[in-house]
Amino acid sequence: MKLTVEQYTGSAGEWDAFGRRQRGWTHYHGAGWGDVIRETLRHPWIPLVARGSDGAIAGILPLVRVRTPLFGRYLVSMPFLNYGGPLGSDDAVRALSLAAAEEADREKAKLLELRSGIELPLTLPVSHRKITVVLPLPARGETEAAWKALGTKLRAQVKRPQKEGVTVRFGPDQVDPFYEVFARHMRDLGTPVLPRRFFRAIASRFGEEAWFGCAWLGGRPIAAGAGFRWADEFEMTWASALTEWNRIAPNMALYWSFIERAVNEGVARFNFGRCTPGGGTHRFKRQWGAEDEPLWWYQHVPGGGDAATPSPDDGAYAWGPRLWKRLPLRLATALGPSIVRGIP
């Protein structure tokens, strides 16, 4: 069947309805992300659609053009997130990827990156520099089974902050406390922070699909997380904790509360989010009994050669974290969004 690829101009409902029927669908394929990215990070969202000769949708690809003077041009599906690659029939996936590569060539982008959670029928080079870690969950409401599955040592680590008086709260009213912890944590890591308006837009746009939770002690948020529910899966997309409270491990109570909520809501897979293989974050996630899953990030470099999105692991940017950690929190939080919007 002959396919044509064009920029989508239909309704968000039609886009989402098609996407949800496809293997590999995630929350980040949703049309609502176009609004969030445009309004809060000022990057153009380019929704590509492949149509058959009868005009019916055969595939979709949410693509974002990331362009800043400091870091240059990238085309990513989806930036700042872990998933978003093309969905649909094999022919449609190939046609959409080809169209995206041609767009990257025209724009002389440094890199086109299509971030998928599943292997795709593409011949593009694929990067596995990041993985995710996933924990299968028991049936809805079986929180006791989930608790026992943690093992004695891990249960003791969860109980420790609880005995110290740490409690976890969920809801849209947790967005600002979440950001308070997140911004400080990112500064301490030497990484510019996404803007507060990004997370407020997420809470407003996605409602119950977006979970914000904070661990509180004595009226102060000391650990926080946020993520998304779709189909039978929840992904913890962002998580942070204040280092001065490491001795009572509030992040353990935080993660358990998210897992407990997921079980109570009938989620089958708890996705701990992406990490670098072998790193400390990877080891933390594996201790919950979760298993590694590869991420399939397909890449096209206009003109050939190798490229990657900006990273402190790159020697050209290694000075950045060392400098950023020294900034006063207020200044780092104010400057961070204008920098991080160029690091997809």
**317 — pLDDT class (breaks 50, 70, 90):** low
Give phi and psi for 223, each to the nearest 5.
-155, 150
Q: Is the pLDDT of residue 303 over 60?
A: yes
Lowest mean pLDDT among 105-114, 265-274, 312-321: 312-321
The pLDDT-based confidence of 307 (bands split at 50, 70, 90) is: low
Assigned token pair, 75: 């085309």
CATH topology of domain 132-293: Aminopeptidase (3.40.630)
CATH of domain 4-128+296-309: 3.40.630.30
Element (H, E) at 68: strand 57-68
Report residue 271's pLDDT band, with 50, 70 and 90 as the boundaries.
very high
Q: Is the sign of the CA dihedral 302, 67, 294, 84 positive or negative?
A: negative
Q: Percentage of residues in the chain with pLDDT exceeding 90? A: 91
pTM: 0.94
Is the pLDDT at 310 greater than 80, yes or no?
Answer: no
Residue with tokens 């976890």: 168
pLDDT of residue 257: 98
pLDDT of 154-172, one tens digit each? 999 999 999 999 999 999 9
pLDDT (mean) for 195-213: 98
Residue 192 has pLDDT above 90, yes or no: yes
Q: Are 4 and 50 in contact (CB under 8 A)?
A: yes
Task: Place 318 in a pLDDT band, splitting at 50, 70 and 90.
Answer: low
Residue ranges, comma separated, of all CATH 3.40.630.30 domains in the chain are 4-128+296-309, 132-293
